[in-house]
Amino acid sequence: MQVPETESAQTERPEPTTDTAHGFPARAKVPKDNRSLFIEAMSDATRRRIAFDVVERNCRMRFRVGEEGIRIYLQVLDLVHSSKVDEALNEFEARFLPMLDQTSLKRMIGQRP
C-alpha cells in the first residue's frame, strides 16, 4: 500500500550545492549523457581503463567488420580526442587500432584525396 504524496512532497526541492556527507559537488540538475561521462573519464587512468574495457566488450566484434567497423572506431576515437588527453588517445589507438579490418583500413586510406 502506498501513502499518497502531499502537495508539498510533490513540489520540486532545490538541490544542495554540495553533498555535505562526502564533500563532493551536488549532482547536476541536468543528467549528463554517456558521451560526456566517457570524455570526462579519459583524464583518470582507472576510469579510462574501465571505459576502454566497456568499449572492448561492446565493440570488439563490430570494429572487425570492414568499413562500418572503422567508422565506429573513428566515432569513439573522436570522443577520446575531445578529451584532449594525449595519453588516452595513445592508449586507445594502441589497444583498438589492431582490431580493425586492416584490409578495409588500407583501402579506405588509399581512397582519401
Residue 93 lies in a domain: yes
Note down the domain range covering 104. Answer: 37-111
Would you place residue 109 in the very low, low, confident or very high pLDDT band (cuts 50, 70, 90)? confident
Q: What is the mean pLDDT of residues 26-53?
A: 83
Q: Classify the phi-psi angles of 30: left when phi > 0, otherwise alpha if psi is within -120 to 50, otherwise beta.
A: beta
Minimal CA–CA distance to 88: which of 34, 33, 50, 44? 44
Residue 20 lies in a domain: no
Q: Residue 11 falls within a domain, yes or no?
A: no
Please state the domain count of the chain: 1
Q: Residue 21 — very low, low, confident or very high, per pLDDT cuts 50/70/90?
A: very low
Residue 44: inside a domain: yes
Residues in contact with 12: Cβ distance below 8 Å, sequence separation at least 6, in sequence order: none
**Would you say residue 12 has pLDDT above 60?**
no
* pTM for this predicted structure: 0.67
Q: Report the chain's mean pLDDT, rounded to a whole number.
A: 79
Q: Examine residue 51 and state whether it is found in any structural domain, yes or no.
A: yes
* 30 in any annotated domain: no
pLDDT tens digit sequence for 50-106: 999 999 999 999 999 999 999 999 999 999 999 999 999 999 999 999 999 888 888
Is residue 41 domain-resident?
A: yes
